[in-house]
Structure 1
Amino acid sequence: MTEPKEPSASQLGLSDMSPAEFREAAHRVADLVADYLEGIESRSVLPPIAPGDVRRSLPQEPPRSPEALDAILADYLSLIEPNLTHWQHPGFMAYFCSVASGPGILGEWIAASLNSNVMFWRVAPAATELEQTVVGWLRILLGLPDAFDGMFMDTASMSTLTSVLAARHVLPGLDARDEGLAGRPGIGRLRLYCSTETHSSIEKAAIAAGAGRAGVRKIPVDADYRMRADLLETAIAEDRAAGWWPFCAVATLGTTSSTSVDPVGAIAAICEREGIWLHVDAAYGGSAALVPEMRPMFAGWERADSIVVNPHKWMFTPFDASLLLFRRPEAFRDAFRIVPEYLKTPEGETARNFNEYGIQLGRRFRALKVWMHLRWFGGDGMARRIREHCRQARDLASWIDADPDWERLAPVPFSTVCLRRRPAALRGREDEPDVARRLDASNEAILDRVNRTGRVLLSHTKLRGRYTLRVTLGNPRAREEHVRMCWELLQKAARGDGAETRG
């Protein structure tokens, strides 16, 4: 073990870390990261700690004097790394996997060293044009027409908010950008449409846009949790008659709970007839369009006004990286462009200034890690991995279907499986209140037992009021053996709780 070093001359002076110091430190950090990834499976996915444990182990007073890198890294290895939930672990099967590939990590590292603020072309020319290029590459790989332009955002929440505000801006006669909404007589209430399965970020966008949660009308879904397009059309007619101002509809390709796929073609046709902006939330499912044979389920999304796909969800790009695509870039620019004197540059209209297309002025150089990742794997390589995850999910679904004591609660269009333990003895009695409560409690206990093993981490949701376990497969490090292990852990956890089998 290396003896701790004293603070260096650069730490004690007025300069930054010297190039020689940085080189030495970077080699150490590279080894630290490589060791972490190499040994990831030896760790518990979920750390056995309670809220407040880490904070109590950290000094409450800030450091006043420089500390040696040895001490900093030692504390990281003892206090931080062991107490993280390990998203890179092949047993992480909760929520939607967000996995960082090796080339993506390297791209993130290089981008941090450049510290480019990609707000407008003059201050980040290569970064701006690389972003334009990579956005174009992804559009092609997703099979979308060249009518779409776009940019990188941090998350789907921001991509959706930006799109909803652009949708509000194009409403004729509203002019919320300049006039606002508060205190204006004669302004109808804004109405946004989505399904009952839509992500909560849609409601947050409606709040920020001034529609409020009351302005969100949730359309019922069919047996497979897909929006009922016929009921959307009825709702729009009812709202217009009642004085509402319909302005935006959101179709989801891969809902958060069940990964259902809304009938985007039918929804697009309604939006076109009604003059309503269509935003497609494909944050998770959109990556599957990299697989040519899976594209038919996306038919119609090319008619959307805006689309969000998150490379950090299922394209194995380090968090954060959200791709926002739009057909009408002028709607975004008109909604957000404000150029005070201190931001004016001589390039004028010849250059792309991304800050004019959204809320944020400062923007990270996200395109670099996506560029490196795409070049390393290639579009075909990414498609192979997504195809494999879908195969793994189908295998798990088949094991569930073959076991009379378990049931699937939703179709499996992508790589997420929704299931619960329902003993064969209780088939047909699921809706009895007492049985329903016992089934919910039993499955909650199963989830807790499985997660406490540390070998996998699963999450849950509720589908039609039923406590539902979710298994999401999306880690390129996960192999069939990990999927089998997950299924065996679920069965073992169920055998440890026989309460739900009693009649």
Structure 2
Amino acid sequence: MINLPQSIPSTGLGEEAAFELLGMPALQQAADLAAPDALAHMDPPSAPIAARMAYVVAQANQNLLHPATSPFATEAERVVLDWIAPAFGMAWGQFCSGSRLANLTALWAAREAGARFVVASADAHVSVPKAANILGLPYHPVPVDEHGRLIRDSLPDLADAALVLTAGTTGRGVIDNLAPVAAKWLHVDAAWAGPMQFTCHRDRLAGIDAADSIAISAHKWFFQPKGAALALFRKTETRASITFTSSYLARPNSGVEGTRSAAALPLLATLLAWGQEGLAERIERCITIAEQLAQRLEADPRAVLRQWPETGVLNWRPAQADVAAVIAALSGTSSAFTIGETPWVRQVAANPHADVDAIWARIDDALA
């Protein structure tokens, strides 16, 4: 760490000096998510065009709560949502500062529609029970099968329930069966795998268009800077149930957040620069990387592959060596994940710039 004063200095260094002091360490001491051997968490490198637009957003510092101060950014958000929502069969949506807020927003709408408790798989993201707790709704986890998918035969009566299905679980990356089910509200947490809808693998999300709401993390497979997500809704009338107004507002405020930044601008720039083909190519490359590594792990007697990667998430363990030691050797390109009581190495193909040979060289050394 750099040597910093213990309190706010009475006399400032000046902006250039402060930037020189902090800027390079902030980059040099950060993980390089675009490195050839970077394959650890669900953290893709930001699209360069998105990073550039994020600077513009910060410089303008627009607040989309007040359209008069952000006319261009407000229109940009409308355009992006009009592009993305119909691809999932949704009628409208809004940006949120992360998919935790997107899940909370969706489950708030579910409660207003009459849902009295929340049901999700035991492998659902922690933001789902957290949202239920915030909303004062009982939470019922449902067991998962050997692959990590929600067991539908274990579902309770859903007449008064908000059922949350996961498209890309955090630990194993599996997609629950998304076929329609009779529930008061059906929400799909597609924070990770949602953007696969724009790829040749969209069939893995079959049934997602029957959801009442969908959450997608833009800072995952839309390759955006942190703090951007989308909450999408099938019915336009849902908006009224989560909208409030006040005398100081230029227009009614929908959703959990009030003040929020123009997060749609970097995503709009990315989609314009890459097009759907460019986005698809990067996601499909990530999935291919995971599958190629799975093939090598499956063929190597030193390793045990837990299951085939459905959305670019690998779970494997050494056949003989200590899992913790292997994870330590793979520091920065793996994490630990426990299935039952068994520890596994978890690697996520979030980096489209990753090189299979570079990653395998590290795995090979760790298993040696």
Aligned to 2:365: 492
Q: In angstroms, what is the RMSD of aligned CA positions?
A: 2.0
Give the whole-Å Cα distance in 2 for the aligned partners of 1:79 and 1:405. 38
Cα displacement (A) at 1:219: 1.0
Give the whole-Å Cα distance in 2 for the aligned partners of 1:468 and 1:70. 46
Aligned pair in 2 of structure 1 residues 88, 63: CA closer, same or farther (>3 Å)? farther
Pick aligned residue for 1:317 from 211, 221, 224:
224
- Correspondence 1:264 to 2:264: no
Pick aligned residue for 2:97 from 154, 178, 190:
154
Cα displacement (A) at 1:77: 4.7
Cα displacement (A) at 1:113: 1.9
Cα displacement (A) at 1:87: 3.4
Cα displacement (A) at 1:78: 5.8
1:284-323 deviation digits (Å, cap 9, x = unpaired): 11111110x3111111110101101112101211222101
Where in structure 2 are the equivalents of 1:104-119 lying within 5 Å?
A: 104-119=50-65
- Correspondence 1:282 to 2:174: no
Decide whether the 8 Å contact of 1:280 with 1:306 is kept in 2.
yes
Structure 2 residue identity aligned to 1:168: R
Pick aligned residue for 1:229 from 143, 152, 161:
152
Give the whole-Å Cα distance in 1 for the aligned partners of 2:172 and 2:230. 22
Decide whether the 8 Å contact of 1:97 with 1:473 is kept in 2.
no
Aligned pair in 2 of structure 1 residues 84, 94: CA closer, same or farther (>3 Å)? same
Where in structure 2 are the equivalents of 1:269-418 lying within 5 Å?
A: 269-271=181-183, 276-291=184-199, 293-335=200-242, 337-343=243-249, 345=250, 353=251, 356-418=253-315
1:204-247 deviation digits (Å, cap 9, x = unpaired): 10110112xxx211111122211111211xx227xx8xxxxx33
Give the whole-Å Cα distance in 1 for the aligned partners of 2:233 and 2:149. 23
- Correspondence 1:131 to 2:82: no
Give the whole-Å Cα distance in 1 for the aligned partners of 2:309 and 2:223. 21
Decide whether the 8 Å contact of 1:162 with 1:359 is kept in 2.
yes
1:343-395 deviation digits (Å, cap 9, x = unpaired): 2x4xxxxxxx5x62212110110111111111111111110111111111111
TM-score, with length taken from structure 2: 0.94
Aligned to 2:108: 165
Give the whole-Å Cα distance in 2 for the aligned partners of 1:301 and 1:387. 19
Aligned to 2:165: 251
Aligned to 2:341: 465
Aligned to 1:21: none
Moved over 4 A (4+): none
1:19-75 deviation digits (Å, cap 9, x = unpaired): xxxxxxxxxxxxxxxxxxxxxxxxxxxxxxxxxx56xx3211212223234422331
Give the whole-Å Cα distance in 1 for the aligned partners of 2:197 and 2:123. 21
SS at match of 2:253: helix
Cα displacement (A) at 1:420: 0.6
Cα displacement (A) at 1:117: 0.2
> Relative to structure 2, which stretch is displaced further, 116-125 or 468-477?
116-125
Instruction: Considering fraction of residues, name the structure with more strand.
Output: 2
Decide whether the 8 Å contact of 2:166 with 2:188 is kept in 1.
yes
Give the whole-Å Cα distance in 1 for the aligned partners of 2:20 and 2:68. 41
- Correspondence 1:447 to 2:324: no
Aligned pair in 2 of structure 1 residues 124, 319: CA closer, same or farther (>3 Å)? same
Give the whole-Å Cα distance in 2 for the aligned partners of 1:90 and 1:250. 35
Aligned pair in 2 of structure 1 residues 207, 409: CA closer, same or farther (>3 Å)? same
Decide whether the 8 Å contact of 1:98 with 1:319 is kept in 2.
no
Cα displacement (A) at 1:118: 0.3
Aligned to 1:66: 12
> Relative to structure 2, which stretch is displaced further, 395-404 or 482-491?
482-491
Aligned to 1:29: none
Cα displacement (A) at 1:197: 0.8
Give the whole-Å Cα distance in 2 for the aligned partners of 1:126 and 1:220. 47
- Correspondence 1:193 to 2:132: no
Decide whether the 8 Å contact of 1:224 with 1:411 is kept in 2.
no
Structure 1 residue identity aligned to 2:362: L
1:309-341 deviation digits (Å, cap 9, x = unpaired): 112101211222101111134324323x22221
Aligned to 1:84: 30
Aligned residues between the structures: 368
Cα displacement (A) at 1:160: 0.3
Decide whether the 8 Å contact of 1:95 with 1:459 is kept in 2.
yes
SS at match of 2:194: helix
Cα displacement (A) at 1:114: 1.6
Q: Please tell me whether Structure 1 or Structure 2 has the larger radius of gyration of its CA atoms.
A: 1
Decide whether the 8 Å contact of 2:38 with 2:359 is kept in 1.
no
Cα displacement (A) at 1:88: 4.2
Decide whether the 8 Å contact of 1:120 with 1:128 is kept in 2.
no
SS at match of 2:28: helix
Decide whether the 8 Å contact of 1:333 with 1:356 is kept in 2.
no
Aligned pair in 2 of structure 1 residues 65, 308: CA closer, same or farther (>3 Å)? same
Structure 2 residue identity aligned to 1:167: A
Decide whether the 8 Å contact of 1:333 with 1:358 is kept in 2.
no
SS at match of 1:62: coil
SS at match of 1:371: helix
Decide whether the 8 Å contact of 2:105 with 2:231 is kept in 1.
no
Decide whether the 8 Å contact of 1:156 with 1:322 is kept in 2.
yes
SS at match of 2:226: coil
SS at match of 2:292: helix
Decide whether the 8 Å contact of 2:102 with 2:216 is kept in 1.
no
TM-score, with length taken from structure 1: 0.69
